[in-house]
Amino acid sequence: MRNARDLQPAFLDLLHARETDGSSPLFSPGERIVQSARRFARSPEDCARFARGAALRSVNAAIDEAPPGQSKDALFAGDALYAAGFAPPVEGSRYLPAARWPGSPLFQPVGRAWTRPGDFLVIGDHLEVITQVFADGRPVATLGARAAGLVEDVAFGARLLRARRRGDHFVQGGRPLYVLRASVQVP
């Protein structure tokens, strides 16, 4: 069994790499993912496109349209990754369902203390993008496709804070929770 220290991202040093003058980070994958995710939620009309009752076409031409009645959480998270320049987990012509994202080699599970904006929160069969991590033990904010469309709040982040560790993930209310970080991908 791994402990929280073992779940520290393997590429942490890359994220804190500095340009030669010591100024800013070379890149921040998490910020790119959050910016990409928030572009889908610019207006109430944009948010409503991700409602369960709507049909929605992915920004990724290789992905089939999500029909009405189907959850759009994996489509939203996959499109946010794709638009940020990362490879999302795909099988056939669909993004993997949320429950299968933790098994994808495209992600690394991280401990609660290592959570950052741009990570993904998988709760059972639901998926959200972590958009903000607050100090002082307050919940993290997430953005995700829910029944009425895209919603950003602390409801799912609060579940993470109440969860208990079990191996490489957490459990809250009998449901597994994972915090996943997109692996740095090089050409």
Please report whether residue 133 resides in a domain. Answer: yes
Q: CATH number of the domain that 155 lies in?
A: 3.90.1720
Please report whether residue 138 resides in a domain. Answer: yes
Q: How many domains does the chain have?
A: 1
How many CB atoms are closer than 10 A to CB 45? Answer: 8
76: which 2 tokens?
A: 């939203």
Residues 79, 87: Cα–Cα separation, whole Å: 10
End-to-end CA distance of the chain: 32
Please report whether residue 187 resides in a domain. Answer: no
pTM, rounded to two decimals: 0.84
- Tell me the residue range of the domain where 23 lies: 4-182
pLDDT in tens, the chain (187 residues): 344 344 444 434 433 333 344 444 455 789 999 999 999 999 999 999 999 999 999 999 999 999 999 999 999 999 999 999 999 999 999 999 999 999 999 999 998 888 999 999 999 999 999 999 987 767 799 999 999 999 999 999 999 989 999 887 899 999 999 999 998 765 5
Nearest Cα to Cα of residue 120 among 138, 139, 107, 136: 107
Please report whether residue 96 resides in a domain. Answer: yes
Please report whether residue 53 resides in a domain. Answer: yes
